[in-house]
């Protein structure tokens, strides 16, 4: 049976790696992006080259109206349901202490990372119910466990909320056969460090996990696609650390 995979934040990093792996596994892909059209076009070109069917949808997940439109466009983009969701879109900001946090920064952080993720899931679940099921993997972060005081405390708090949301939504949907899990990536080689104002962060601390190195986006993608697969059919309400033991 053909399956559809909706990936938010698919223009780079973990989202792009999930698109490539999903294409290799035969998924029809709906790739969401925010601003990086060039990045998602490059991802789409690569997965189309291996035979994947791809639809691109632009939306600001921090805007509820845009998320509603994302759901509407996803509903008509590919009827080959069941649908699976990789709820990956998120933002980070520069290092900051409590005194540095502004209402504007907090509002945007939580609008994208919490409200946006929950509303994307709401749209996806409506499609799953219409199309006969599916699964969700939310992308959290080990920052949720570490707190990141004096660094990225607001980002960490937003990801802790995703952990809680994962557990609650898994409980709510289990009776419908919709599985909900999450992954918590650790120090991963993606562009997020540069976006957080620290492009050299992995060079400085990438060796600190017990495994002695940073992870790759492909390694995170493998865990995510396993959680969505039939091989994980008895796994829900679970948060998997992909963090080299950190």
Q: Which domains does the chain have, with CATH numbers?
A: 4-242 (3.40.50.720)
The percentage of the chain sitting over the pLDDT mark of 90, rounded to a whole number, equals 88
Q: Are 185 and 196 in contact (CB under 8 A)?
A: no
Q: Check residue 197 and give its pLDDT.
A: 66
Q: What would the two tokens of residue 32 be?
A: 């969401």
Q: Check residue 93 and give its pLDDT.
A: 96
Q: Give the CB-side neighbour count of residue 158, counting CA atoms within 13 A.
A: 25
Q: Check residue 194 and give its pLDDT.
A: 65
Give the Cα separation of 235 and 205 in Å (integer): 32
DSSP-assigned beta bridge partners for residue 85: 6, 136
What dihedral do alpha carbons 8, 12, 14, 20 form, nearest 10°? 90
The SS3 of residue 137 is: strand
The CA angle 221-147-205, to the nearest 5 degrees, is 65
The answer to whether residue 155 is catalytic is yes
Q: Are 144 and 243 in contact (CB under 8 A)?
A: no
Q: Check residue 79 and give its pLDDT.
A: 66
Find the helix or strand (DSSP H, E) in which 71 lies. Answer: helix 64-77
Active-site choice (27, 33, 152, 155): 155
Q: Check residue 1 and give its pLDDT.
A: 61
- Contacts of the segment 171-178: beta carbons below 8 A, 24+ positions apart: 171/237, 173/125, 174/236, 174/237, 176/129, 176/133, 177/133, 178/125, 178/128, 178/133, 178/134, 178/135, 178/136
Positions of the chain with pLDDT under 50: none
Q: Are 45 and 118 in contact (CB under 8 A)?
A: no
Q: Check residue 85 and give its pLDDT.
A: 98
């Amino acid at each position: 049976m053909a399956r559809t995979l909706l990936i938010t934040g698919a223009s780079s990093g973990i989202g792009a790696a999930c698109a490539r792996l999903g294409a290799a596994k035969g998924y029809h892909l709906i790739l969401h992006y925010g601003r990086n059209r060039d990045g998602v076009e490059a991802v789409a070109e690569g997965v189309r080259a291996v035979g994947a069917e791809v639809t691109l949808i632009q939306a600001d997940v921090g805007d509820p109206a845009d998320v509603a439109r994302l759901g509407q466009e996803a509903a008509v983009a590919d009827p080959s349901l069941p649908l699976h969701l990789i709820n990956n879109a998120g933002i980070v900001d520069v290092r900051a202490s409590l005194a540095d946090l502004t209402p504007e920064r907090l509002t945007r952080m939580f609008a994208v990372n919490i409200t946006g993720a929950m509303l994307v899931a709401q749209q996806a679940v409506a499609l799953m119910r219409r199309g006969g099921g599916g699964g969700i993997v939310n992308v959290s972060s080990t920052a949720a466990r570490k707190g990141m005081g004096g660094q990225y405390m607001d980002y960490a708090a937003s990801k802790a909320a995703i952990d809680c949301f994962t557990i609650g939504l898994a409980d709510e949907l289990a009776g419908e056969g919709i599985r909900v899990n999450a992954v918590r990536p650790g120090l991963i080689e993606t562009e997020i460090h540069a976006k957080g104002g620290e492009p050299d962060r992995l060079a400085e601390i990438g060796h600190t996990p017990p495994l002695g190195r940073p992870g790759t986006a492909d390694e995170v993608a493998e865990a995510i696609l396993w959680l969505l697969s039939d091989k994980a059919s008895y796994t829900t309400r679970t948060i998997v650390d992909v963090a080299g033991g950190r």
